[in-house]
């Protein structure tokens, strides 16, 4: 099965589960296992965004960069989004499965933006390393690191 539908299903399921559960409430320590403490410094995890993204004539956007992460116990993804004219409107641009082994890896996400026409030029990209971490039997999102960066979208 292609990665994009799997990622969309997993993220959608996590969002629905979070909405169904409602606001977080305190639970007895025995009923919900605590997430393992992270023993790494903040500098051990990072995500970068390349200064230039590609924009095809059909609206397909390709963004890329590098990432480093550690201490994952669930599936991890590098997600990205782009905005151009509105700081409140972001468009998801794919997701890549990540390997959290403490080594720097390259990521590249491609997606077609259909709700707004992007133009070559300045844009704002956000890249996030997100893990679906099991907690009490449910996969809940755990965000390792996020970066926002101004980039240039170039024809290509």
pLDDT digits (tens, 9 = 90+) for 5-19: 444 444 444 443 333
Mean pLDDT across 130-139: 92
| pTM for the predicted model, two decimal places | 0.71
Bridge partner list, 25: none
CB 36 within 8 A of CB 71: yes
C-alpha angle 133/139/144, rounded to 5°? Answer: 30
Q: What is the pLDDT of residue 154?
A: 96
Per-residue pLDDT at 135 exceeds 80 = yes
Where is 11: in which H helix or E strand? helix 3-21
Q: What is the mean pLDDT of residues 87-113?
A: 92
Poorest-pLDDT segment among 21-30, 56-65, 118-127 = 21-30
Q: Tell me the C-alpha distance between 24 and 37, whole Å.
A: 20
């Amino acid at each position: 099965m292609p990665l994009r539908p799997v990622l969309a299903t997993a993220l959608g399921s996590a969002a629905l589960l979070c909405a169904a559960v409602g606001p977080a409430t305190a639970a007895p320590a025995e009923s919900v296992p605590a997430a393992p403490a992270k023993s790494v410094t903040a500098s051990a995890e990072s995500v970068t965004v390349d200064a230039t993204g590609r924009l095809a004539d059909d609206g397909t956007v390709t963004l890329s960069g590098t990432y480093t992460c550690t201490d994952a116990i669930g599936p991890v993804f590098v997600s990205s989004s782009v905005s151009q004219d509105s700081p409140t409107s972001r468009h998801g641009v794919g997701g890549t499965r990540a390997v959290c082994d403490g080594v720097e890896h390259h990521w590249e996400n491609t997606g077609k933006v259909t709700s707004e026409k992007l133009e070559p030029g300045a844009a704002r990209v956000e890249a996030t390393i997100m893990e679906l971490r099991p907690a009490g039997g449910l996969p809940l999102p755990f965000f390792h690191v996020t970066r926002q960066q101004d980039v240039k979208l170039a024809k290509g």
